[in-house]
Chains A and B, each alone.
Chain A
Amino acid sequence: MALELTGVARRYGDVRAVDGVDLTVPDGRTVALLGPSGCGKSTLLRLVAGLEPPDAGRIALDGRDLAGVPPQDRNVGMVFQDYALFPHLSVADNVAFGLVERRWSTERRRARVAELVERMGLTGTEGRRPHELSGGQQQRVALARALAPRPSLLLLDEPLSNLDRTLRDDLTRDLARLLSGLEVRAIHVTHDQDEAFRLADRVALMREGRIVQEGTPDRVVEEPRDAWAVRFLGLRELVPPTAARALGFDGPVLLRTERFVPAVDGQPFEVREAVRIGPEFELTLFAPAWGFDLRWRVRPRELGHDPRVGDVLHLAVPDAAWTPLGVPA
C-alpha cells in the first residue's frame, strides 16, 4: 500500500512546472522533496492534494486512481507554508474543522481536539484566534488541524520556512519526533537540506520539474547523481571536467578530500592558501600531478604543525575518494 506517482506532469503556459515525475511513498515513510525554489516541488504537492489537476500521468493512493477525485474526497492532510489558519475561528475550531466536515459526533470531536492540542503543546490556547499566537504555535495548530481527521497521507509544504533559524531547529526536532511516532505517510517539501535529512526516511532531489535522484539521505549524500546535485547539496569537491577527462573519467567525478590522510609516502600537494576556520584550517592545495586546485580541511594536530603557504604536504589518496557521477539530466 503506497502513494504512487507515474509520469505526473503539469505545465503553466510554456513552463513545465512538473515534468514527468515518478515517485513512490511507502506506508509509514516520510519522503522529503528537496529542491531550489521554483523547481516544481510545491506544485507537485498541490497535484497530490488535488488542488490542481495534472496534465498527464497517474496519481494513485493505495491502488485507487485519484484522477477526478476532488481534494475534499482524498483524505489528505496538508500543512501550508503560511499555515492558512482560519482567522475567524478559534484554535479548537480550526483543529475541529475537518472533523465537522466528516460528521464526527460532538463528543468524538471534542476528544480528538483535546488529544491533539495536548500532544502539540497547545494547552491553554484553545480559545484564542490565530493572530494571537506565535509563529511556532500557529505552525503546530496547522499541523494539528491537518492530522485531526487521521489523513491517509500528510503533505507538508515548507512548513518551517517562515520561522527564524533557532525556532526552526527546535521545531524540526519536534516534527521529526511526532512523525516517527505517528506512522503516517508524509511528503515534506523543503529547500533546506538539513530539514530534509532530519525529517525524511527518503529524499527526492527535484530540479526543473523532474526528480533527479531519490534514495535514503545517506545514499543521496554519498553518491550524488550528477554535478548539479553536488552543487545543490553544497558538496564542493567536483573535479574540473577537463582534468577529469585527462584522468580517464568519461563523466563528472567527485573527489572526497575528507578521505585524504597525511602519509610520508603520499602524493605531494602544494599549499596555495591557508585560512583558519575555528579549530581547523581550510587549505587550498595544488596537485601538480593532476593540474587543479582542491580544498582540504585539517586540524593542525593531524599535521603536527600549522600549515603555511608554500609548504608541500604528502597525502594518501584512497581509491574510494573518487566518486564518478552520472551524466547530468
Chain B
Amino acid sequence: MPRPSPATVSAVLAGAFLALALGVPLGAVVARGLADGPGPALLRVVTDPHLQETLLRTLLQAFLSTVLTVAVGLPAALAFARWSFPGKRLARAAFTIPFVMPSVVAGAGFLALAGPRGLAPFDATDTLALVLAAHVFYNVAIVVRMVGGFLESAAPRLRDAAATLGATPLRTVRRVTLPLAAPMIAASAALVFIFCFTSFGVIVIVAPGGGWDTLEVEIWRVVGRLLRLDVAAGLALVQLTVAMLAAGIYTRLQARAAVPASGPVRAPPPGRTGRWVLLATLLPPALLAIAPLAALLVRAFVGADGSPSLAGFRTAFAPTGLLGVASGWDATWNSLRFAAASGAVATVAGVTFAYAVVRGGHRWLDRASLAPLAVSAVTLGLGVLLAWPLLAGSFWGLAAAHALIGTPFVARAVLPSLRAIPASRSAAAAAAGAGPWRRLLRVDLPALGPSLAAGSGFAVAVSLGEFGAALVLTRPELATLPVAIHQRLGRPGAESYAAALALAVVLMVVTAALMALVDRLSGRGEL
C-alpha cells in the first residue's frame, strides 16, 4: 500500500480538528438548545420577555454602533483614498491599532478615560454613549481598511475621467465614488454589525451594570451564575442565527463589489480646501482611536494623589492572597502558556488547512477554515463545556478553543504564499527525486517562512487577548491576563483599579510589540 500523500493527511487532520474543536461543540449547543426541558430551550428563550428585551437591546445597540462606525469611518476612508499626505502611514496605523487591541484593553482604556476614576470629569460607565464610543473605536478600522483600500485601487482614474467629463469633486463622490463603493460599504457595515452584535469584553468592562448586556454577555451570565446550560444554549442559537444571517449578507456583498479597474495610482496631495476636509475627517476618529489608550497609559502611571507612581504595577505583581484573584505573575505565565500552546496548534492546523486546499484541491476547506471566526467566543466556550465536560476547566480545554480561533489567521496568511509557489518548482523537486513528504519539508515549508511567522504571531496575539471563552472555561488558577484584569476591576478600591490598569498596560504593550513584529513579517494576507 502506498504511503498517503501529505495533502490527504492534511485534509484528514484539518477536517478532524475542525470537527472536534468546532463541529462537536457547536452540535452540542444546537442539541441542547433544541432539547426538551419543558419544551425546547430555544422556544422558552424566544418567548421569555426578559430575553426578548435582551435581543432587541442587542439589535438596537449593534445597529446604532454600526451606523456610527460607518458615519465616522466612511469620510476617513474617502479621504485616505483621495489624497496622499505626510504621515499617511502613521495615520493609517493609528486607525488599525485599536482593532488589534484585546477588548479588555480597549475597555480598560475607556474606563481610564471616562470611568469612575478616569481622566474625564464625568463618569460615563454604563451609558449607551460609552458603549457606542468603544464600538466605534474598535471597528472604525474595518470601514477605513475595506472601503479605503477598495477605492484606492479602483477610483483614481475614474475620478480623473469624471473630472474631464465635467463633474465637480462633490458630484464625483456622489455619482462615481459612492455608487462604486456601495457594496463594499455595506459589506463592511455587515461585518461591523456582527462584531457589535456579539460584543463581549467591551460591554462587560465599560457597562458592568448589565444595562447594555448583549446576548453574548447574557449567555455568560446564565452559564456562570445560574448554571442553566439549556437556556444558554437557546440564547446561543438565537445569536448564532442573527450572526449567520449577517455573515451571509457580508459574503454576498463583498463578492458583488465591482472589480477594481486598474492598479493603485499615487494619490495627489490635497489642495487648500482639501487640507481642511482632510483634517476634519481624520482628526476626530484619530483622537477617538488614541485617547483611550493614551488615557490608559497616563492613568496606569499616575497614583491616587496625581503624582507619578508605579504602585499599580507593584500591587498587580505582588502575591494577592485573595481567593479568585490571580497575581500578575501567575496571569502572565498562564497567558504565555496558553498563547504558546494554542499558537503552536493553530500553526500546525492552519498549515494543514492551507496545504489541503492548495495541494489537495479540497476547496471546501477554504471556506471551512473561516468558520471559527463566525462563532462567538462565549458560544464556543459553552460548546466545549457541553461537548467535552472533562476538558472544561483544564488547560487543554481553553488551549484548544484558542487554537481554533487562531487557526483561520494562520490559514489565511499561508494560503496566498502557498498558492504563489509555482507548480513547476514542485515538479522540479520531484524530477530531482524528492517524494511528496520531502517536497513538503524541503520546498514548500521554507518558502512559507515569513507568512507562517506572521500568521502564527496573529494567532498568539488572539490567544493573549481572548476573553469570552477564557472566562467561561477556566478555573481561577488558570486565569489569563484579560481574566485577571476583569477580576481586579470587579473589586472595590483604588488599589485593585490601579492594578487592573497596570495589567492592561502590560497586555497592551505585549500585543503592540507582537503586532509590530507581525507587520514587519507579513505585508500580505487574505483576510
Interface residues of B in 245-267 (CB under 8 A from A): 258-259, 261-262
A157 smallest CB distance to B (angstroms): 10
Given the known A-B contacts A80-B157, A80-B160, A101-B171, are A86 and B176 also in contact in the complex, defined by CB atoms under 8 Å?
A: yes
Give the size of the chain A interface in residues (CB under 8 angstroms): 31
On whether the beta carbons of B161 and A86 are closer than 8 Å, the reply is yes
Contact B268 A52 (CB under 8 A): yes
B162 — which chain A residues lie within 8 A by C-beta?
86, 97
Q: Is the CB of A70 within 8 A of B163?
A: yes
| Contacting residues, chain A, for B161 (C-beta < 8 A) | 78, 80, 84-86, 145
Q: Nearest residue in B to A103 (C-beta to C-beta)?
A: B166
Other-chain contact of A78, B164, B167, B179 (Cβ < 8 Å): B164
Contacts of A51 in B (CB 8 A): 160, 163-164
**CB-nearest residue of chain B relative to A148?**
B165
Contact with B along A80-114 (1 / 0, CB 8 A): 10101111100000000110111000000000000
Minimum Cβ distance to chain B for residue A70 (Å):
7
The answer to whether A87 and B261 touch across the interface, beta carbons within 8 angstroms, is yes
Are A131's CB and B167's CB within 8 A? no
B259 engages A149 (CB within 8 Å):
no
Q: 1/0 per position for A130-157, CB-CB distance to B under 8 A?
A: 0100000000000001100100000100
Q: Say if the beta carbon of B180 comes within 8 Å of chain A.
A: yes
Q: Is the interface of B mostly helix, strand, loop or mixed?
A: helix
Contacts of A88 in B (CB 8 A): 176, 179-180, 258
Residues of A within 8 A of B167 (CB): 72, 97, 101
- The verdict on A116 contacting chain B, using a C-beta distance below 8 Å, is no
Least CB separation from A12: chain B residue: B266
Tell which of A52, A82, A102 touches B166, judged by Cβ atoms closer than 8 Å: A102
Given contacts A84-B158, A86-B158, A87-B180, A72 and B259 within 8 Å (CB-CB):
no
Query: Which of B164, B167, B176, B259 lies at the interface centre, i.e. has the most chain A CB atoms within 10 A of its CB?
Result: B164
* Residues 140 to 196 of chain B near chain A (Cβ within 8 Å): 154, 157-158, 160-168, 171, 175-176, 179-180
The interface residues of chain A lying within 8 Å CB-to-CB of B258 are: 87-88, 131
For the complex, is A50 an interface residue (Cβ under 8 Å from B)?
yes
How far is it, in angstroms, between the C-alpha of A76 and the C-alpha of B165 when the chains are bound? 8
How many A-B pairs have beta carbons closer than 8 Å: the answer is 80
B442 CB, nearest partner CB in chain A, Å: 41
Minimum distance in angstroms from A135 CB to a CB of chain B:
13
Are A98 and B165 touching (Cβ within 8 A)?
A: yes
A71 CB-CB contact with B under 8 Å: yes
Using known A-B contacts A85-B261, A88-B258, A97-B162, determine if residue A72 contacts B180 with beta carbons closer than 8 Å: no
Contact B261 A77 (CB under 8 A): no
Chain B residue numbers with a CB within 8 Å of A50 are 163-164
| CB atoms of A87 and B259 under 8 A apart | yes
A residues near B171, Cβ cutoff 8 Å: 72, 101
Roughly how many angstroms separate A149 CA and B167 CA in the complex, as a whole number? 12
Given the interface pairs A51-B160, A72-B163, A88-B180, the reply to whether A82 lies near B168 with Cβ below 8 Å is no
Q: How far is the CB of B262 from chain A (nearest CB, A)?
A: 5
Please give the distance in Å from B169's CB to the nearest CB on chain A. 8
A71, B259: Cβ atoms closer than 8 Å:
no
From B160, B166, B179, B259, A84 is in contact (CB under 8 Å) with B160
Give me the interface of B with A, judged by CB distance under 8 Å: 154, 157-158, 160-168, 171, 175-176, 179-180, 258-259, 261-262, 268
Pull 14 A–B residue pairs with CB atoms less than 8 Å apart, ordered by A.
A46-B160, A52-B268, A72-B168, A76-B164, A78-B160, A80-B161, A84-B157, A84-B158, A88-B180, A97-B175, A98-B166, A101-B165, A149-B166, A155-B164
Known: A49-B163, A80-B160, A145-B165. 13 other contacts (CB 8 A): A70-B163, A71-B160, A72-B163, A72-B166, A77-B164, A77-B165, A78-B161, A84-B157, A87-B261, A88-B176, A88-B180, A98-B165, A98-B166
